[in-house]
Chains A and B, each alone.
Chain A
């Protein structure tokens, strides 16, 4: 690549005022036809385009985006990456994703800062410890790394937490996944965008789909604010707005849209290394490389397309966090925001045909789409290129709502998505 990133190149560019860096991606005009057209330039859409070009040699690919690439949930989440799942189907999917993340910076030549500082899910009672053991065993059997930790180990991993015996939810231990951690969310989108662009993919921003082009019951492309674009196959990866697109396309998705809030504090010197999650307190947090505490919790109570947070959940999450880690009470909240997430009945994603020929879905990731970006893109690319499922994505076909083979992690292991 003429535009390769490296320390050496950085030094060389420093000598000439960084004038030599090229565009990270082009801003092309849409062509009239593509082999594959992907709606939504979020992490999943961009990763799909990248793997189509890289793994399947499909380079006549466009990714169209109504806003700016990476501007949806990819840039609005709490950046946690983990594969601490119970069911083998989920473990296969999310651990595949973690493995791809592990080599992603080098693969994309873009530092996505995947930082495997670990993910800790706390247990606050003996019955919860029994569930934790069941989960750890499942993870180990599934080939994921996992550690059942007691209170002393938790204290080593996260000394800032509330270890008082009279705490409302005393810490008994938990599940620790050392390979879990966080990544730089924007960098994931930008890295995939840059790498896909270099392979010839057209990323067309500020281009909204106004309708599908259906001919003889088969989707042949889309109408956009930039005109008609024909395509052999259309993939929709528009988390938060999957139902809106479904309405245009005339198919149905088992999705409710909810706002999920995220919070970041002012930068602090390091106070915690891992991601720490307490289901009982309803809050989790980690610390970014910049020093801000990145805080998250549950979905807002009210189904919503409003990309903003509401106070009750904010109070629950932050109030819970202050009980979870009381020394953080005096830290200040810098910014909070909301993203719209696709919530499916089993909180597992949908990858598969939409029900309309030529339209394929990658959606329904709920609160956990960011960690699945590499796998989601890889598997969706496989589906779009070959017309059939990769074995890892097959269980996530929307058909499971007909057959009953739901993959409901929340009900199984007590680990919320």
Chain B
């Protein structure tokens, strides 16, 4: 059983988390013309890194999405950080 550090709640059991996808996907502006290939790549082209990967995860109990960098072979968690932008104050 793995444990992931939620940036908001701390270290928690993997069963509290859900994998949401790879980091860095930007939804094309669909109100304008999006080609079949562009749309396919947005939906289906994955890096699926072996080794260090940057992913978006959800902590199901606090509902926050966050970025997790981890090694997909050793399962080592390298870093987690909030997905939302820094609040400027």
Chain A residues with a Cβ under 8 A of chain B: 241, 243-244, 252-257, 301-306, 310-312, 345, 401-403
Contacts and interface: CB of A to CB of B under 8 A. Distances in A.
Nearest to B53: A303
Nearest to B47: A243
B14 interface: yes
A310 B15 CA distance: 11
B75 interface: yes
Interface string B46-89: 11111101010000000000000000111100000000000000
Nearest to B73: A305
B48 A312 contact: no
Contacts, number: 64
30 contacts: A243-B46, A243-B48, A243-B49, A244-B50, A252-B41, A252-B45, A253-B46, A253-B48, A254-B44, A254-B45, A254-B46, A302-B2, A302-B19, A302-B75, A303-B19, A303-B48, A303-B55, A303-B72, A304-B75, A305-B51, A306-B72, A306-B73, A306-B75, A310-B2, A311-B1, A312-B1, A401-B43, A401-B44, A402-B39, A402-B40
Contacts of B39: 402
Nearest to A255: B48
A308 to B, nearest CB: 9
Contacts of A244: 50
B27 interface: no
Given A243-B46, A252-B41, A252-B46, 19 more contacts: A243-B47, A243-B49, A254-B44, A256-B46, A256-B48, A257-B48, A257-B72, A301-B14, A302-B14, A303-B53, A304-B72, A306-B72, A306-B74, A311-B1, A312-B1, A312-B15, A401-B40, A401-B44, A402-B36
A304 B49 CA distance: 9
Contacts of B75: 302, 304, 306
B37 interface: yes
A345 B51 CA distance: 22
Q: Which 7 A-B pairs have the closest CB atoms?
A: A254-B44, A243-B48, A252-B45, A311-B1, A402-B40, A401-B44, A402-B36
Contacts of B48: 243, 253, 255-257, 303
A417 to B, nearest CB: 17
Contacts of B74: 306
A305 B52 CA distance: 11
A365 to B, nearest CB: 15
Contacts of B44: 254, 345, 401
A366 to B, nearest CB: 14
A20 B2 CA distance: 52
A123 B37 CA distance: 40
Nearest to A304: B72
B43 A257 contact: no
Given A306-B74, A312-B15, A402 B37 contact: yes
B48 to A, nearest CB: 4
A69 to B, nearest CB: 22
Nearest to B55: A303
Contacts of B72: 257, 303-306
A317 B51 CA distance: 27
Nearest to B74: A306
Contacts of B15: 301, 312
A36 to B, nearest CB: 26
Contacts of B36: 402-403
A190 B55 CA distance: 39
A311 B43 CA distance: 31
Nearest to B49: A243
Contacts of A306: 72-75
